Amino acid sequence: MSKPPRKIIHCDCDCFYAAVEMLDDPSLSTQPLAVGGQPGARGVIATCNYVARRFGVRSAMASSHALRICPKLIILPPRFERYRSISRQIMAIYHDYTPLVEPLSLDEAYLDVSDTNFCQGSATLMAQEIRQRIATEVGITASAGIAPNKFVAKIASDWQKPNGQFTVAPHEIDEFVAALPVGKLFGVGKVTAAKLNTLGIETCGQLRDWSLTNLWREFGKFGERLYELCRGIDERPVCPDSVRKSLSVETTYTHDLPDLGSCQAALGELIQDLRQRQQKLNDPTPAHKAFVKLRFADFSQTTAECVDPYPGDATFRRLLTQGFERKQQPVRLLGVGIRFAEPDHSRVIQLSLFDEPPE
Q: Under a CB-based contact definition with an 8 Å cutoff, are residues 167 and 33 in contact?
A: no
Cis amide leading into 162 (omega within 30): yes
Angstrom distance (rounded) from CA 346 to CA 359? 26
Contact between 172 and 193 under an 8 Å Cβ cutoff? The reply is: no
What distance in Å separates the CA atoms of residue 19 and residue 29, rounded to the nearest whole number?
8
Three-state DSSP state, 13: strand
Closest CA to 230 of 171, 151, 159, 157: 151
> What's the farthest any 2 CA atoms get from each other in the chain?
66
The verdict on whether residue 355 carries a ligand-binding annotation is: no
Long-range contacts, 219-226 (Cβ 8 Å, 24+):
219/192, 222/187, 222/192, 225/186, 225/187, 226/185, 226/188
- What is the rounded distance in angstroms from the CA atom of residue 218 to the CA atom of residue 194? 13
Task: Please tell me whether 12 is known to bind a ligand.
Answer: yes
Distance CA 102, CA 100 (A): 7
108 is catalytic: yes
Catalytic residue, candidates 21, 81, 102, 108: 108
Give the active site residues. Answer: 108
Which residues make up each annotated binding site for Mg(2+)? 12, 107
